[in-house]
């Protein structure tokens, strides 16, 4: 039994595989095969193997955005009906949704993730509630109090846009994922925020080439007041920059519209079983074991990966590792998905392409351009 999953540095995944192998009592043995750390590269490797019908893949650590694509291409198996209840019981509805396509379950949710707003408690008295507030606050401070976000032309920019759009009350595609939605008012609001951030003097000068990790590094140098990022920055700051960590606060992602809480994009991985696996029944059992409560706890405790089972957020060991567990849970409750369509990669490419660099965005013009680009991507037309 092989489990293709991204290279998790703490060894939590290997530990989970070891425990499940032991529990299986010789029925199966799980070997972990590491994929690159970058999600785009993981997908490239997996799609190439799956398109060629590679029998050596049994379990896939599937990024939440691949479900529709992999299901539509016939690369993963539908989750067996007898086990669907177990796969969704006690899990965040949004996490279960990411594993669902065409009203069927295709995987079991394993880990999840959402961004939070990290800020310097020694420089800001009260954390901002909205983007406007945050940008104003940062501009009032000196130049060493920048805002760190993800502005490179890649998936992270799409995530930023989708979160802003959702916070403004809009969405990219309509409910069944076949038509472009992008309502004018929310889209314009989201684009306004991006434009304002990028042209603000509080923006990092490297914004248009920054990813999650550059943002983390820049925050750790101590010259930033705000950062939008995932929870991995916390253990990293504790280790690399204790003086920054000592003054690091966390709060909910800022909203776009006053009085409306932000809605951020959900991440994480689901475990699916490959169509070409020679032992599908065993693979389902093994995947179920890997995503069990104990293994989610280990992944959270060691790797800092937020669990999909909400009860775990009360577990003392998890709370020690993720002191912001309550905030995560609250954020996950109204998190949003990225468009659920087999053509998601094309759509993401279209979005990040149209909106990069953020400082050149012209909200009125680009709302229309964006709509057109997403429409073309949805019809799989032309170059992107």
Partner 1 sequence: MRRAQNLKGWLLCAPALSAMALVTAYPVFYAVRLSLYRYDLRHTADPDFVALRNYFSVLSSEVWWQALWNTLLITTVSVFFELVLGFALALLMHRAVFGRSALRSAVLVPYAIITVVAALAWKFAFDPTTGFVNSLFGIERAWLNEHWSAFAVIIFSEVWKTTPFMALLLLAGLSLIPDDVLKAAKVDGASAVQRFRLITLPLVKPSILVALLFRSLDAFRIFDSVYVLTRGAHGTESVSVIGYNTLIVRLNLGLGSAVSVLIFSCTLAIALLFIKGFGTPLLRKD
Minimum CB distance to partner 1 smaller for 302 or for 356 = 356
Is residue 235 at the binding interface for partner 1, with CB under 8 A as the rule? no
**Which range touches partner 1 (CB under 8 A), out of 27-35, 67-75, 179-187, 252-260?**
67-75
Minimum CB distance to partner 1 smaller for 183 or for 213 = 213
Minimum CB distance to partner 1 smaller for 40 or for 142 = 40
Smallest distance from partner 1 to CB 383, Å: 4
Is residue 40 at the binding interface for partner 1, with CB under 8 A as the rule? yes
Among 3, 13, 154, 284, binds partner 1 (CB under 8 A): 154
Contact 196, 188 (CB under 8 A): no
Is residue 375 at the binding interface for partner 1, with CB under 8 A as the rule? no
Is residue 199 at the binding interface for partner 1, with CB under 8 A as the rule? no
Smallest distance from partner 1 to CB 345, Å: 6
Smallest distance from partner 1 to CB 133, Å: 25
Smallest distance from partner 1 to CB 7, Å: 18
Query: Which residue spans within the chain are E strands per DSSP?
Result: 2-6, 31-35, 59-63, 100-101, 104-105, 108-113, 116-120, 146-148, 224-229, 248-251, 267-273
Is residue 241 at the binding interface for partner 1, with CB under 8 A as the rule? no
CA 118 to chain centroid: 17
Among 8, 58, 63, 204, binds partner 1 (CB under 8 A): 204
Bridge partners of 267, per DSSP, are 113
Instruction: List, in sequence order, the alpha helices (H) in 102-211.
Output: 131-140, 155-167, 184-199
Is residue 286 at the binding interface for partner 1, with CB under 8 A as the rule? no
- In whole angstroms, give the CA distance from residue 24 to residue 18: 10
The radius of gyration of the chain's CA atoms, rounded to the nearest angstrom, is 21
- In whole angstroms, give the CA distance from residue 344 to residue 353: 14
Is residue 209 at the binding interface for partner 1, with CB under 8 A as the rule? yes
Give Cα separations from 365 to 72, 192, 315, 354 (angstroms). Answer: 34, 12, 49, 11
Write out the binding residues for partner 1, residues 337-366 only, by CB under 8 A.
342-343, 345-346, 349, 356-357
Bridge partners of 31, per DSSP, are 2
Please state, as a whole number, how many other Cβ atoms lie within 10 Å of the Cβ of residue 365: 10
**Which range touches partner 1 (CB under 8 A), out of 78-86, 158-166, 208-216, 282-290?**
208-216
Smallest distance from partner 1 to CB 148, Å: 10
Minimum CB distance to partner 1 smaller for 11 or for 222 = 222
Is residue 287 at the binding interface for partner 1, with CB under 8 A as the rule? no
Is residue 175 at the binding interface for partner 1, with CB under 8 A as the rule? no
Residues in contact with partner 1, counted by CB under 8 A, come to a total of: 34
Among 33, 73, 257, 330, binds partner 1 (CB under 8 A): 73
Strand order in the sheet with 146-148: 146-148, 224-229, 116-120, 248-251
Please state, as a whole number, how many other Cβ atoms lie within 10 Å of the Cβ of residue 28: 17
Smallest distance from partner 1 to CB 266, Å: 22
- In whole angstroms, give the CA distance from residue 179 to residue 377: 11
Smallest distance from partner 1 to CB 352, Å: 9
Instruction: List, in sequence order, the alpha helices (H) in 78-119.
Output: 81-88, 93-98
Contact 237, 246 (CB under 8 A): no
Is residue 129 at the binding interface for partner 1, with CB under 8 A as the rule? no
- Give, to the nearest 10 degrees, the angle between helix 293-303 and helix 12-23: 160
Instruction: List, in sequence order, the alpha helices (H) in 241-342.
Output: 242-245, 280-290, 293-303, 316-321, 325-333
Is residue 381 at the binding interface for partner 1, with CB under 8 A as the rule? yes
Among 14, 28, 54, 206, binds partner 1 (CB under 8 A): 206
Is residue 78 at the binding interface for partner 1, with CB under 8 A as the rule? no
Which residues contribute to the site for partner 1 (CB under 8 A)? 40, 44, 47-48, 51, 69, 72-74, 152-154, 204-209, 214, 217-218, 221, 342-343, 345-346, 349, 356-357, 380-384
């Amino acid at each position: 039994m092989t489990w293709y999953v991204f290279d998790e540095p703490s060894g939590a995944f290997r530990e989970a595989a070891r425990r499940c192998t032991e529990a299986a009592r010789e029925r199966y043995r799980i070997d972990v095969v590491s994929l690159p750390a970058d999600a785009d590269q993981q997908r490239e490797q997996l799609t190439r193997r799956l398109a060629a019908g590679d029998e050596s893949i049994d379990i896939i650590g599937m990024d939440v955005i691949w479900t529709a694509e992999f299901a539509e291409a016939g690369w993963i198996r539908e989750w067996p009906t007898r086990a669907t209840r177990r796969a969704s019981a006690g899990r965040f509805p949004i996490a279960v949704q990411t594993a669902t396509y065409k009203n069927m379950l295709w995987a079991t949710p394993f880990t999840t993730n959402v961004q939070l707003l990290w800020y310097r408690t020694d420089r800001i008295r009260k954390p901002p509630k909205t983007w406007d507030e945050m940008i104003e606050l940062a501009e009032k401070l000196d130049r060493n109090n920048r805002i760190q976000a993800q502005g490179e032309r890649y998936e992270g920019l799409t995530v930023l846009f989708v979160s802003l759009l959702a916070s403004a009350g809009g969405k990219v595609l309509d409910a069944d994922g076949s038509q472009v939605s992008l309502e004018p008012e929310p889209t314009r609001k989201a684009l306004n925020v991006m434009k304002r951030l990028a042209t603000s003097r509080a923006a990092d000068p490297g914004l248009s080439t920054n990813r999650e990790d550059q943002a983390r590094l820049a925050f750790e140098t101590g010259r930033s007041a705000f950062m939008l990022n995932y929870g991995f920055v916390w253990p990293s700051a504790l280790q690399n920059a204790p003086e920054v960590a000592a003054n690091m606060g966390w709060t909910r992602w800022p909203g776009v519209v006053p009085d409306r809480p932000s809605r951020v994009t959900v991440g994480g991985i689901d475990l699916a079983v490959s169509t070409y696996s020679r032992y599908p029944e065993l693979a389902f059992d093994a995947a179920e074991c890997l995503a069990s409560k104990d293994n989610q706890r280990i992944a959270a405790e060691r790797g800092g990966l937020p669990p999909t089972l909400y009860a775990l957020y009360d577990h003392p060991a998890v709370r020690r590792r993720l002191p912001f567990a309550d905030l995560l849970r609250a954020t996950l409750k109204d998190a949003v998905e990225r468009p659920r369509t087999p053509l998601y990669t094309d759509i993401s490419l279209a979005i990040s392409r149209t909106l990069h660099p953020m400082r050149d965005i012209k909200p009125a013009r680009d709302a229309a351009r964006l709509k057109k680009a997403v429409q073309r991507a949805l019809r799989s037309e032309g170059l992107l």
